[in-house]
């Protein structure tokens, strides 16, 4: 369905975001040629408004409920990091029927179980595309409440698969059209997934339930031992109070919690946050997510434009005042920035650590699992 610019955020040749999450500012993109005819699709599904338009500088754009979900120009920034941070942090990247030879890796010290991934939301296909690059992924379940998002994505953004078969046709994929809170309710998927990626839209409308402590608890229960949950968590520049409240809630449930920041130019303030929560393994050991646990094969590494070992580590390095607030949130402390002693010597110690800059670039000798 194609419509005029009425009531879809487009006026006088410009699209302007509308959201209660960042009061006092709005982001705008020019339509191609400043023409209302550049609106390719505008409709109201059962759950949300959906808009696709052709922009002047950023290619085609997908918006849900008046908020930009991605543009062709920079969608890979979010998709690559949101998917590869948890996948590359997981300590078990190999499976018996998908040996390391398929990954371009050296023989690991042991072969471990097959990796299962749950994607919550993600109907735009970006995170799914990046997950599908990894041949060691055994099964992918995508729970998207709104089937119209997938239909629109297939019609207007299929070229992002770069001539390959649609990621929505991957034989490892199962698509479930259901509210993810209902999907995980009452422990129906206990310890089923190695990685859960909560790629939901902003915490309002149909996604509001997916930011509640009760839902975090359900995700934790659905993880296998040593599993990882990666959740979208708004911008640390615009929504620091919200991000800290989410960190506090997650820290009361998960065995380790960390916050990462990704640069995405067309998102509000140019960045988006991710919370990574880990579950202890069967021996009670708790891993972290702030460095890759293994090395990408060269073939996959060559295809990526944002993610690398460098960007993996660097996205967990936050401005000092934000790190202080978040450290307090993780510890369950209330209040502002005061009362926290920050030792600059910690920075010097970090700089003296082993250099991992080229750890994930697919070059050099074969990959071994590195745990530090």
User: Active-site residue numbers?
Assistant: 199
What are the angstrom distances between the C-alpha of 192 and each of 100, 115, 121, 140, 195?
23, 10, 18, 11, 9
What is the secondary structure of 258-274 as a DSSP string?
Answer: EEEEEE-TTSGGGEEEE
Beta strands 28-30 and 14-16: pairing type?
antiparallel
- Cα separation of 95 and 260, whole Å? 28
- Cα separation of 372 and 236, whole Å? 28
Nearest to 199 by CA among 207, 191, 209, 189: 207
List the strands of the sheet with 193-199, edge to edge: 173-176, 137-143, 115-121, 193-199, 223-232, 271-278, 256-263
Q: Which two tokens stand for residue 19?
A: 């959201």
Beta strands 256-263 and 115-121: pairing type?
unpaired
What are the angstrom distances between the C-alpha of 368 and each of 92, 100, 108, 168, 358?
11, 10, 6, 31, 14
| Beta partners for residue 262, in sequence order | 272
Rounded to 5 degrees, φ, ψ at 66 are 80, 10
- Cα separation of 183 and 218, whole Å? 10
> Do 199 and 231 contact (CB within 8 A), yes or no?
no
Query: What percent helix, strand, coil does the chain show, rounded to 5?
Result: 30, 25, 45
């Amino acid at each position: 369905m194609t419509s005029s610019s009425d009531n879809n955020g487009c006026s006088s040749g410009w699209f302007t975001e509308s959201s209660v999450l960042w009061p006092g500012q709005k982001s705008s993109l020019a339509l191609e040629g400043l023409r209302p005819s550049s609106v390719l699709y505008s409709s109201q599904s059962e759950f949300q408004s959906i808009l696709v338009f052709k922009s002047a500088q950023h290619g085609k754009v997908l918006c849900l409920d008046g908020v930009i979900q991605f543009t062709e120009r920079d969608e890979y920034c979010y998709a690559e990091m949101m998917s590869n941070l948890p996948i590359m942090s997981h300590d078990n990247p190999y499976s018996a029927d998908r040996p390391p030879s398929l990954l371009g890796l050296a023989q690991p010290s042991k072969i471990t179980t097959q990796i299962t991934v749950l994607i919550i939301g993600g109907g735009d296909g970006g995170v799914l595309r990046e997950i599908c690059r990894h041949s060691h992924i055994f099964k992918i379940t995508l729970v998207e409440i709104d089937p119209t998002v997938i239909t629109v994505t297939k019609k207007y953004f299929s070229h992002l698969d770069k001539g390959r078969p649609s990621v929505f046709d991957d034989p490892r994929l199962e698509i479930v059209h259901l509210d993810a809170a209902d999907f995980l309710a009452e422990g129906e998927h206990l310890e089923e997934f190695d990685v859960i990626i909560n790629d939901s839209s902003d915490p309002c409308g149909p996604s509001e339930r997916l930011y509640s402590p009760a839902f975090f608890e359900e995700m934790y229960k659905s993880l296998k031992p040593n599993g990882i949950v990666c959740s979208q968590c708004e911008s640390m520049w615009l929504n620091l109070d919200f991000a800290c409240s989410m960190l506090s809630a997650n820290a009361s449930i998960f065995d380790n919690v960390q916050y990462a920041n990704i640069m995405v130019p067309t998102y509000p303030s140019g960045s988006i946050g991710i919370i990574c929560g880990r579950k202890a393994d069967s021996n009670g050991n708790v891993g972290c997510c702030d460095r890759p646990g293994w090395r990408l094969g060269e073939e996959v590494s060559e295809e990526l434009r944002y993610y690398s070992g460098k960007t993996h580590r660097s996205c967990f390095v936050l401005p000092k005042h934000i790190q202080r607030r978040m450290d307090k949130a993780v510890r369950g402390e209330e209040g502002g920035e005061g009362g926290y002693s920050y030792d600059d010597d910690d920075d010097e110690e970090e700089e003296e650590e082993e250099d991992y800059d080229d750890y994930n670039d697919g070059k050099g000798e074969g990959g071994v699992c590195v745990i530090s």
